[in-house]
Amino acid sequence: MPLYQALVLAVIQSLTEFLPISSTAHLVLTPWLLGWSDPGLTYDIALHFGTLAALVAYFFRDWVEMLAAAFGRRVRPDAETARQPRLLWLLALGTVPAVVAGLLFHEQAETTWRSPLLMGAMLILVAGFMYWADRRGALRRGLGDITLADALWIGGAQAVALIPGTSRSGITIAVALWRGLERPAAARFSFLLSTPALAGAALLAARDLLEQGGIAPDMRWPFLAGVLASALTGWAVIAFFLRFLRTRTLRFFVYYRVVFGIIVIARAVFLRRQAA
C-alpha cells in the first residue's frame, strides 16, 4: 500500500468518523471511486486505533471524572458528572445494543451490506432524519440531564449505524437531538458512547490480525502512518466539530450527505448498466 494512500485514507477516516457523514461509506467508496485496491484488515485496524486514541486523548478528563463519580468520589462542582453521577453506567447500558447488533450482524455488515446502492440510500435517508431532528426545537438539555431512556434510545441508534452509510455520529446525534439535548451535548454523548464500541472493534480486529500472522513487513510504515495521521486529525476534528455546534446547525452535513448519496447511487447504476 503506497504511503500517500495510507495518509489520504487516514485523514478521510478521521473526518468522516467524527463528522456525521459516515466513515464506512467513505472508506469503502473512496478506493472504489479512485480505483485503489482494498487496504485490507491491517490498515482498518490502524485507523480504528488512531481514532480511538483521538477520542481517549480528547475526553480523558471526562472519563476520569465519570469513573470518579460512578464510585462516589468528588468531582468538580461545575462538571457535568456532578449533575449526573451515573453517566458512566448509562454509557455502559447504551453500548449494549451495538454489542448485540455486532454479534448478530457483523458478517453482513462486512460483506453484503457494503453495496454502493445501500450506502447511497442510507446516506440520504439518515440525512432526512438529521434535518428533521435538528429543526424540531427544544434543544435545551445538557450532558448532565441524560436519562436511562436517552441512553437506550441513543444506544439503539448506534446499533443501526452498523449499516454502512448510516454514520455512527450522524444517527446518534440526531436521536439525541430528538430527545431534546442541545447540539454540543448531543455530540459529546455520541463521542463518549462510541469509545467503547471502537475499542471493542479494534481489539477484535487485532485478534483476527494476530491469528493471520500479524502485520506484514510491507504494511508496517502504512500502519504507523495510519495510526498517527488518524489520531492527530481526529483530535482536531473533534475540537472543531464541538465548537462548530455551539453556534451552527447540522444543515451543511445534511446537504453533503444528500449530494454524496446521489453521486454514489448514480455511479453504481452507471457501472451496473455498463456491465450488463
Provide the pLDDT for residue 189: 96
Dist CA 132 CA 135 (whole Å): 5
3-class secondary-structure state, position 181? strand
Provide the pLDDT for residue 42: 64
159: nearest Cα among 241, 103, 86: 103
Total domain count for the chain?
1
From the number of C-beta atoms within 10 Å of its C-beta (0-12, 13-18, 19+), residue 97 rates as buried
Provide the pLDDT for residue 41: 58
Which domain range does residue 176 map to? Answer: 3-275
User: How far from each other are the two terminal CA atoms of the chain, in whole angstroms?
Assistant: 31
Task: Encode burial over 204-229: b for 16+ CB neighbours within 10 A, e otherwise.
Answer: ebbeebeeeeebeeebeebbebbbeb
Helices and strands (H and E) in the chain: how many: 12, 0
User: Is the pTM value of this prediction over 0.75?
Assistant: yes
Dist CA 175 CA 246 (whole Å): 18
Provide the pLDDT for residue 24: 81
What's the pLDDT tens digit per position in 251-271? 999 999 999 999 989 988 988
User: Does the pLDDT at position 218 exceed 80?
Assistant: no
Of the ranges 28-42, 103-117, 253-267, which one carries the lowest mean pLDDT score? 28-42
Contact 229, 50 (CB under 8 A): yes
What's the pLDDT tens digit per position in 166-215? 999 999 999 999 999 999 999 999 999 999 988 988 888 788 778 777 77
From the number of C-beta atoms within 10 Å of its C-beta (0-12, 13-18, 19+), residue 80 rates as buried
| pLDDT-derived band at 77, boundaries 50, 70, 90 | low
Provide the pLDDT for residue 140: 86
Q: Which three cell numbers stand for residue 225?
A: 502512518
What's the pLDDT tens digit per position in 79-106? 676 677 899 999 999 999 999 998 899 8
Q: What is the mean pLDDT of residues 22-45?
A: 76
Provide the pLDDT for residue 234: 94
Q: Which three cell numbers stand for residue 23?
A: 466513515
3-class secondary-structure state, position 74? coil
